[in-house]
Every structure is written in C-alpha cells, then in structure tokens.
Amino acid sequence: MIRIDSVTKRYPDGTVAVDRLSLEIPDRSITVLVGPSGCGKTTTLRMINRMIEPSEGTILIDGVDIQKQPVNTLRRGMGYVIQNAGLFQHRTIVDNIATVPRLLGWSKDRARGRARELMTRVGLDASLASRYPYQLSGGQQQRVGVARALAADPPVLLMDEPFSAVDPIVRKGLQEELLRIQEELGKTIVFVTHDIDEAIRLGTMVAVMRTGGHLAQYAPPAELLSSPADAFVEDFLGADRGIRRLSFFTSAGLELTTAPVVALDTTARQLAAREAEIAEVAAPHLLVTDLDGKPLGWCAPEDFPGAEPGRLLSFGRPFEFGKDSLRAALDCAVLSPTGWAVAVDAEGRAVGVASQETIGEAIRAAHAERRKADVAG
Amino acid sequence: MNGFFDIPSDLQHSWLGLIGLHLREALIPVAVGLLLALPIGQLCVRVRWLYPPVLWVTTILYAVPSLAFFVVLIDYTGQSETTVMIPLAVYSLVVLVPAIVDGVRSVPQETLAAATAMGLGPVRRYLQVQLPIAVPALIAGLRVATVSSISLVSVGTLIGNQGALGNLLADAMFYHRPVLAVNSVVTTAVLAIVIDALLVLLRKVLTPWAPPASGGSRSAGRGGRRTPGRAAKQRSVVRPRPAALAVQDTAPVKDTAR
C-alpha cells in the first residue's frame, strides 16, 4: 500500500501545487488521480518516485518512508510510463525495454530475453524488436513504454497521462490492454489523467483533485457517479453522469422477450400460432434471424414470410446479454430504428429483445436495489 | 620542376607531406575544441543563465582575426604550429558549443523524465541519453568547424611558413608559379570535401536510429517528427552565425586577410 500522508508541495515562489493531500492507495489495483490542469495530479505522482520532493508530509510504501532508501533504487523499483512514451530514440525497441534490468545488473542476454517476453505481453510483434522508435506508430510506442515500465517486474507502476497523446481508437485499445495486463499481473498502479471517462473506465479508486492541489473526492467510480461530493466534482463528471453510471449496472437482470424473434425459415402458419404472444409484448416489428440464430434485421409482421434478408430494417448494434452493461443496452435501444435493443450471446446469436420501456424498468430496479444496498451497507 | 605536384624545396615537404601537415594543423584544433566544448556545453545546459554570456564571449572571440591572435601568441609560442592551432581551436569551440547545447537541449522532455524515473543518475543520463541523442547536432557542428579549420590553416603561412598547403600561395608569388596557387586552393578544397564526407559517413554509422526524412546532410533535428519547430531551430546550429558561413564558403586566398 502506498500511503500519502498530508503531503504539501510548495514552490519557492509561493505556489502551492499540492495542499495537505492524504491518500491511501490500495495494492494490486488501479488508482486514478484525475482533475483539471494545475490540480497537482502529476506533482503528486512525481512525489511518489521522488522526481519532486514534497515540502511537508511523508509518503510510505508498505510502511516504509520513501526517503529511507537511495533515490535511484527507489525508482528502479517502480515502473514509469509517460505521455508520448518518452522512448530512447537512439536505442532499439528491445534495448529500450531492457533499460531497467540492465541498470539492475542483469546480463545483456537475460535482459533482452525478458524484453522480448514483455513485447508479447503488451501485444507487440516480435519482429519489431530490433526496430528504432521512429519506425513505430504512436500506439506501438506507448506499448513499448508500458513494456519498459514492466521490465524489472516492479510492484508499483506510475502512469502519467500515458494515453492522452494517441487517437481515441488507439487509446481505447491501450486501455483494454492495460486492464488485461493488470488482470494478469496485479500491479499497484497510480494513473494520472485529465480525462474523467478514462478515470472511470480504468480506476478501482478515483481521486478527483481540484486546482490548488486539493482532494475533492476519493471513491470508487460508481460511487463517484452516484453521489458526487460537491458541485465541483459533479461539474467535472459532466452532464451525462446518470447515463455513465449505468455502465456499472449489469444487463443480466434485464427481462428479455423472444416472442418477436423469428428465424428466416419460419412459415406463415408457425407465425400465426405465435401471434398472441407477439401481441402481448406489443412488438411492432419482428426480429429476423438466420438459421443459426444470428440477427439479420427487423421486419414488419405483414411483410414477414418472404422478406428478403437484404431489405430488412437494420437492428443497429446488439449488446451481449449479461456481459455488457445497462448503458450498452440502453444505447442499443436508442440507436435501433424500432426502439428495441437486440441481446446476443457470446457467439452473436440473438437471445432476445428488449424495448426502451423494459430497459427503463431495469434501470429503476437497479437503482432501487443499489439504494437498498447503500442503506444496508 | 614546374609541374603541378612539384613543391619548392623551401617548404621541406612533398605534396603529400603538406597534406599530412595541413590535416594535422586543422584537425588537432577541432579535437581540442571538441574536448573543451563538451564540458562547457554541458555546463551551459545545466546552468541555463550561463549560456547567453558564454555565447557573447565566444562570438567576440570569433570576431578576433587570427592575425591578431598571432601577434599576441608569438611572444609565447613563437613561429610554430601551436601558434596557428590555438586560434583555430578557439574558432572550433565557438561553433561547437552551441551545437552541443542545442543538441543536448533537443532531447525531448519526456525522454529525460523517463530516464530520471527509471533511475538513471545525472552522469548516466548525460552519457547514455543526452550525448548520443545530440550526436547529429554535434556532427553538424563538427562539419562546420572542420571545414573552416581546414581553410583557415593557410593563414599560418604569415608566421614563417606554418600554413601547410597555404604556404604554396606565398611560394606562387615568390617563384611566379601560379600553378602552385591553384594547387593550394584545389587541394585544400578537396581535403575539406573529403573530410566533410567522412563526417557524414560517421554520422550515418553512429545514428542508425535517425529517421531518414530528417537525416538529410545538413539537418540535425531529431525527434523532429513531433516538433518541426525544433528541426528548424537545429538548422541554425549548423550555421551559428553568418560569419561561420562566410568562412566556410570562401577560398583560402581570402582567408589570409584574417
């Protein structure tokens, strides 16, 4: 555990970057420091590896004051990932990654072997090993940055806006990769970002900081969204926090119906037999699937037998039942031309459909349950 | 005894001998300049406010004609090669200090921060990160310094035939053999071009990591993909000031005016 104990950073000109900050960063989880520029989040991060020395207060790692050991020993025991990767442009990818192991006295072969192993781990092709940084894309460079930080297998990983200089698609890929790596390795990660969405996506705990180096709120992301501590946090979370909060509710409790789901080879007679059922759920359209059960599109009931797969109404994007959140389900319903969301299983076969009303009910139920849990807990 | 390669005996050297002498008188000062410029440059990087005054001083030194240096130096080092080489070393220094400073400063902030965060101390950071990344800028500076040094050696002819190939210019007049002047100019120019080409080759060998787009013969901008502005700034390293350009582009004949 990293314990930041009433730490203040005051510069000679009187500027206070961090003001009496106390924070307990749990082991084997991602703790995100988020806030607008000038809130002291990067300063806080850099005080953990002593690139900036605090003016007051102490920082303890597993109960030991970080001032108690030589600064370079401390730093070699922490991975550091920076914006734009900060790779050594004059060294090959494999040697970039091998930097800290070499500093720790590993042999060249062992360090390079380890570096190659890490390249695979972060999703880099082995053929890139002897390339130079300029030959890689921004996203690949950032992966090298992550691999380099992990090279000596440090328990702590400090990440300073690592993904903010890449485009949104690459960023999403890198975030997913980080979550996957974290699941495998279980590092204690301190992650700095100004992007609240990134914070909520990655953080086990999120510390929202405000200008002047004050901690505004320190809570798990779901709690942050449901009960922001003050107007600043609420404002920082943005206008759609209600929608985003739905990311934390599973779609597993959603009541799906299979009544309007018909396979392409369903006959008029079979359809007629299900008419009452379909009328009961008040589905204005039928979801046509192929013989394998994969959704093809929506079709008006009167057109159904004989509908051409190419002329069906698009069903938009399906959500994976039980795995995706209610937010994804709602999004699918809103995007769907019929107003109904299509739920699929892991193989992409339709398992049912849900109307916006059904999803609305599920949301209300989830909120009620969460409130009950909050009262109880 | 009137051929292109027939050197008057008063010079006590064959043509090849003069070339060797010329190279020695030109390259030793550059090497000394480099040795001095490295610590001075590093000091200027670490102590930021020091750089402008250092630039002023070196620029003023650069403006001092070598003849003036000779007048002062001759009392101490006599009519010797050393007297010729000291001003040349000073001129090299003037070109190399900004090249090193700008080269080291061209190392991106995040690269330095990453190096620090990985536990590289100041010495390792300098030797393993800053200096290697400054190599292109450094070699660009070396090219200017070397070429100007090669052309300036000729001035030494004024202090008792210490000008190596430049001595041929004086002899051309004494013996009314213009071909010697042609020999001097052509040989000096070829020498400068060959050394310059060797330096380009050296840079190519030392920096396989440099992107080819910005690895053009004169560009020293590295990491330039993200910062085109920096590449533009780097170009000024190569040509620190118009004076250096003029020196580089003029024939040795004109340099005697120094």
User: B209–A84: do the CB atoms touch at under 8 Å?
Assistant: no
Examine the pLDDT at B230 and tell me if it is beyond 60.
no
Same domain membership, residue A266 and residue A243: no
- Per residue in B118-156, pLDDT (tens digit) is 999 999 999 999 999 999 999 999 999 999 999 999 888
* Three-state DSSP state, A256: coil
Query: Who wins on pLDDT, B252 or B185?
Result: B185
Check which CATH number belongs to the domain holding A44 and give it: 3.40.50.300
Q: How confident is residue B9, by pLDDT bands cut at 50, 70 and 90?
A: confident
The mean pLDDT of A367-377, rounded to a whole number, is 81
Distance CA A21, CA A49 (A): 16
Looking at residue A264, what is its pLDDT? 85
B-facing residues of A in 169-198 (CB < 8 A) are: none
Q: How confident is residue B239, by pLDDT bands cut at 50, 70 and 90?
A: very low
| DSSP one-letter code for B129 | I
Same domain membership, residue A284 and residue A178: no
Same domain membership, residue A271 and residue A233: no
Q: What backbone torsions phi and psi does residue B169 show, to the nearest 5 degrees?
A: -65, -45
| DSSP one-letter code for B76 | H
Looking at residue B223, what is its pLDDT? 38
- To the nearest whole percent, how much of chain A has pLDDT over 90? 72
Collect all residues of chain B within an 8 Å Cβ-Cβ radius of residue A83: 110
Instruction: Please report whether residue A253 resides in a domain.
Output: no
Same domain membership, residue A266 and residue A186: no
Same domain membership, residue A206 and residue A182: yes
**Chain A CB within 8 Å of residue B133 CB:** yes
Looking at residue A31, what is its pLDDT? 97
The mean pLDDT of A272-276, rounded to a whole number, is 84
Looking at residue B71, what is its pLDDT? 87
Which amino acid is located at A44 in the chain? T
Looking at residue B1, what is its pLDDT? 58
Same domain membership, residue A240 and residue A173: yes
- To the nearest whole percent, how much of chain B has pLDDT over 90? 49
The mean pLDDT of A20-49, rounded to a whole number, is 95
- To the nearest whole percent, how much of chain A has pLDDT over 70? 100
* Three-state DSSP state, A117: helix
- Per residue in A213-245, pLDDT (tens digit) is 999 999 999 999 989 999 999 999 988 888 888
B117 → closest Cβ in A80, A89, A90: A80
Same domain membership, residue A199 and residue A95: yes
Same domain membership, residue A143 and residue A18: yes
- Per residue in A286-311, pLDDT (tens digit) is 899 988 999 999 988 888 877 787 88
Same domain membership, residue A155 and residue A265: no
What is the number of structural domains in chain A? 2
A102, A114 in Cβ contact below 8 A?
A: no
Q: Is the dihedral of CA B71, B76, B77, B79 positive or negative?
A: positive
Looking at residue A271, what is its pLDDT? 85
Same domain membership, residue A192 and residue A288: no
Instruction: Please report whether residue A227 resides in a domain.
Output: yes
User: A158–B129: do the CB atoms touch at under 8 Å?
Assistant: no
- What's the order of all strands across the beta sheet hosting A286-289? A261-263, A286-289, A295-299
Instruction: Please report whether residue A371 resides in a domain.
Output: no
Same domain membership, residue A278 and residue A233: no
The mean pLDDT of B219-246, rounded to a whole number, is 38
Instruction: Please report whether residue A256 resides in a domain.
Output: no
Examine the pLDDT at B236 and tell me if it is beyond 60.
no
Instruction: Please report whether residue A369 resides in a domain.
Output: no
Domain-ending residue, one of A248, A278, A305: A248
Looking at residue A198, what is its pLDDT? 95
The mean pLDDT of A361-376, rounded to a whole number, is 86
A138, A166 in Cβ contact below 8 A?
A: yes
Instruction: Please report whether residue A377 resides in a domain.
Output: no
Instruction: Please report whether residue A373 resides in a domain.
Output: no
Check which CATH number belongs to the domain holding A304 and give it: 3.10.580.10
Examine the pLDDT at B107 and tell me if it is beyond 70.
yes
A-facing residues of B in 197-256 (CB < 8 A) are: 207-211, 222-223, 225-226
Note down the domain range covering A145: 2-248
Domains and CATH numbers, chain B: 9-214+229-257 (1.10.3720.10)
pTM assigned to the model = 0.79
Domain-ending residue, one of A248, A271, A299: A248
Domain-ending residue, one of A200, A215, A248: A248
Examine the pLDDT at B257 and tell me if it is beyond 50.
no
Looking at every residue in chain A, the average pLDDT score rounds to: 92
Same domain membership, residue A222 and residue A304: no
Instruction: Please report whether residue A344 resides in a domain.
Output: yes
Looking at residue B241, what is its pLDDT? 39
